[in-house]
Amino acid sequence: MKPFSRTLAAAALAAACAAPAFAQTYPTKPVRIIVPFPPGQASDVIARLVGQKMSENLGQQVVVDNRVGAGGNIGSDMGAKAPPDGYTLTMATAALPISASVYAKLPFDPVKDFATVTLMTVTPLVLIVHPALPVKNVKELVALARSRPGQLNFASSGMGTSHHLSGEMLRTVTGVNIVHVPYKGSQAAHIDLMSGQVAMMFDNILPVRPMVQAGKLKALAVTTPQRSPALPDVPTIAEAGLPNFEAVAWFGMLAPAGTPRDIVTKLNGEIVRVLKLPDVNERLSGMGAIVVGSTPDEFATWMRNEVAKWAKVVKAAGVQPQ
């Protein structure tokens, strides 16, 4: 063997030996989790809860870094372009695959520019209406909307959000003519919904549960295939007669594309371990979340399916990219 060939062979052997060693020693410095949304929101709460438990076991600090703006795209862009070494992770939500269709020019690809680590939790959305609206279930709501074309409106926390597109999905699946009214956040929408300024809304289950329990809002259905322990008496939207309707809030962990597979595997194992801890599971269940803890490949399939699902909704609803 020529000297140059021996050198290349030695380098290749060293690299092959170094990769597992890197995974075994990882992490050797703090790990950052980028949360593309403000402190206090569900994505932030989950990232801090999981990050703290990861830190205790990994022996390194796990730091949450809130990078807010553009519907989550500023933080996601930073995460996609971070070095693929396992030291920068990104919290993903349903906003990420939706962005692929509602933003004309994203600076990153929501699928190709990330390595999926795990789908952590799934949370039902709940279809809520003003208590005075003369309907007791989804079937009656659809009938009322058909009898009053263009007269019923639905609120959302903003254009292009899962709340908005869930309403558009209801519109396209049932063929009803309902009008979208976007707000800057859910809180403002809740105020108008409780006062009767708008008729209905899809929203995360946790913030509206107290208003439902107090009789200030009426819950017609949850959007997961199973009923939610947070509102066990509320039927699923499939039970209500729309079996192909599913729109959920979810939270997952991503790493930049190109992150070594053994590092992704180690992160997956650590996060899934944390999710199974009784105190963590109890806290997440109290938030109305269903703990998943998927494999990286399962999460990759989930992401692709979410991108395809919301692209169809955006097209059918005629939502113009921003």
Q: Which domain holds residue 203?
A: 124-222
91 and 139 belong to one structural domain: no
As for how many domains the chain has, the answer is 2
51 and 94 belong to one structural domain: yes
In a domain, 21, yes or no: no
What amino acid occupies position 301?
Answer: T
Q: What is the CATH number of the domain that holds 271?
A: 3.40.190.150
Residue with the larger pLDDT of the pair 126 and 42:
126
In a domain, 236, yes or no: no
The confidence score (pLDDT) of residue 159 equals 82
Q: What number is the average pLDDT over the span 50-60?
A: 95
The confidence score (pLDDT) of residue 20 equals 52
Average pLDDT of the chain? 90
105 and 129 belong to one structural domain: no
116 and 254 belong to one structural domain: yes
Boundary (domain end) residue, out of 178, 205, 222: 222
The confidence score (pLDDT) of residue 292 equals 96
In a domain, 311, yes or no: yes
Element spanning 10, H or E: helix 3-25
CA torsion, ordered 129, 224, 67, 27, to nearest 10 deg = 160
Quote the CA–CA distance of 66 and 48 in Å, as a whole number.
11
Q: What is the CATH number of the domain that holds 147?
A: 3.40.190.10
Is the pLDDT at 321 greater than 90, yes or no?
no
Bridge partners of 236, per DSSP, are 222
97 and 117 belong to one structural domain: yes
pLDDT of 33-48, one tens digit each? 999 988 888 899 999 9
The number of beta carbons lying within 10 Å of the beta carbon of residue 205 is: 26
The confidence score (pLDDT) of residue 71 equals 82
pLDDT of 250-276, one tens digit each? 999 999 999 999 999 999 999 999 999
The confidence score (pLDDT) of residue 7 equals 42
Query: What is the pTM assigned to this prediction?
Result: 0.83
Range in 17-31, 41-55, 157-171, 307-321 with the lowest mean pLDDT: 17-31
Which residues are CB-contacts of 67 (< 8 A; sequence separation ≥ 6)?
Answer: 34, 35, 36, 74, 75, 78
* pLDDT tier, 116 (very low <50, low <70, confident <90, very high otherwise): very high
Comparing CA positions, the residue from 80, 221, 93 lying closest to residue 162 is: 93
Is the pLDDT at 8 greater than 90, yes or no?
no
* pLDDT tier, 13 (very low <50, low <70, confident <90, very high otherwise): very low
Boundary (domain end) residue, out of 187, 222, 257: 222
In a domain, 203, yes or no: yes
Is the pLDDT at 55 greater than 60, yes or no?
yes
163 and 140 belong to one structural domain: yes
What is the DSSP code string of 78-101? HHHTS-SSSSEEEEEETHHHHHHH
Is the pLDDT at 294 greater than 90, yes or no?
yes
Quote the CA–CA distance of 254 and 252 in Å, as a whole number.
7
pLDDT of 177-212, one tens digit each? 999 999 988 889 999 999 999 999 999 888 888 999
CB 156 within 8 A of CB 220: no
Which residues are CB-contacts of 14 (< 8 A; sequence separation ≥ 6)?
Answer: none
For 106, the token pair is 């994203």
Quote the CA–CA distance of 162 and 149 in Å, as a whole number.
23
pLDDT of 203-220, one tens digit each? 988 888 899 999 999 999
In a domain, 209, yes or no: yes
3-state secondary structure 36-62: CCCCCCHHHHHHHHHHHHHHHHHCCCE
In a domain, 135, yes or no: yes
113 and 129 belong to one structural domain: no
Comparing CA positions, the residue from 233, 236, 270 lying closest to residue 255 is: 270
In a domain, 278, yes or no: yes
129 and 114 belong to one structural domain: no
In a domain, 237, yes or no: no
Q: What number is the average pLDDT over the span 136-163?
A: 93
Per cent of the chain over pLDDT 70 is 93
